[in-house]
Structure 1
């Protein structure tokens, strides 16, 4: 009999219960066997065998039934969409025998940010609470249930974090000569994915145009990042001015401004000089702008790398550098006739700056100084 259920199952050779999974056999009436086929969880418990002699004799046995884990979708979280900065609670309800343990992991293997001060590779428990969630927490989360009885089961829950677009512009001031080509860049972050486009200062949208404009949007990693590029070919006078990169999504919109100005054309050489190449390796972190023509000529405004040349500057080199800056100021004054009074002020500052440069200053350092002074004159002087 099933002791907990007080249910008589068999008497002698006869099966009393109506459960078709129960049967009984014996070995010449000396050993009796109770058979349960297709065991179910409700079959677990104590079973009693009784021999009805003058004094009844009983023997007990206990049946343990193990059940692999199962995740109840109706009691567990599904995919969620939340605003950045909100709190999120994910639930994963699992059953089985013995009771399963539940662990949480991120699908990509990165850490789970429980709050601003606690990040873990995995979290144990049926409930996962994330405080002030950010875009970095976006992705798929796995709840994994196991109890030692195969198979282990899991549920994948996707967490989407919505936020308004943000822009990062590496170069807000870009110079290029007439007739050359140039590429303007903006980097965006947005979720849902933003609508990205370019405009001029008058608000007119820029479209792809063969031989003039080329627009590309490249998805980054994570997927909420986008690299916007606007290439302007064969620059004309009308192309100089302000350009805007714009990003919009249901959570908001933003824009950034890039100013394209005219610069002196580069000198044509078969390749970068030893000094230019060394300078290109010398100054990590200096923002660069490269303008190219339809020929192989390239203007290098020096960028990241390592190494330091041994060349030094003579007084002649310093004078040539001063002349270069003066020419820039002269050209700017010609285009800004309404404010020529600034010429004297700027020139006095340049002269004072050059007086502090020793003759043994490295050429690449001075070349970078020339470039920064030119930009400063354009942005702040005029």
Structure 2
């Protein structure tokens, strides 16, 4: 028998045995642990089963109950009913639904900070089984939760990277990745550490298309009346139209102090199959048979794909009509 369960669900596997003399019920778990009702009747056994699996309970009627099933509970559970006349078996194949990792924060983000400051880069990941998380730093070094690096960098158990006393050498790409048995998720933070007070040359911020950008006023400009931006200091999903100058204004009794930040948005020209420009390919097809022509396109922002037939007909994806169809799946379009 095959059973499908959800995370934290209680799964009951029945094993009703009859016979003369009365049959004795025992179970073999996926990790080869052996349970017999004489020993473990009505007893919760949190230590049994695969590592990290849920508690197992054997009831007096022979039913095996898995409390709060998780991904590690999957496998074959064999019930054996035996007496002096022989034995019979019943096997349950348990499948517990798995969830690929998901990161709560923005997939991409750009931020700028003054030297000497402290910063938290958050990365909260969920999944089933629980994903393994790590940060990849600009110089290729990797750091995991509860690990300290150089006395200045620390990753909290929840995945947050904390950095103190930042320097210009800390600028670069910080990538958080979460991996489990069924998938992977990533989050990228582009961090720019600038030296001293803001200046036009020092405060040119580059952001990836579609990322979230934070523009910080320098500490030196803080006043009792606060600082304000002529445009928002947080920009969601930046586009090419967001490029330009942003001004931070600090007001005090002596007047206003203004510092500018120039934002550049990095875009990428469309490429088909990893190649730019016009490319051609020759393929063979069998008469009256379906033929798929693939067109995997990449770019920032995501390019729009159009197919043109030898007869000059243009088909914008997705397209369904007549003998031709254009459909897209996971970034690849086919006709």
Q: Which has the higher contact order (CA 8 A, sep 6+)?
A: 2
TM normalised by structure 1 equals 0.31
Structure 1 or 2, whichever has the larger Rg, is 1
Greater helix share, 1 or 2?
1
TM normalised by structure 2 equals 0.35
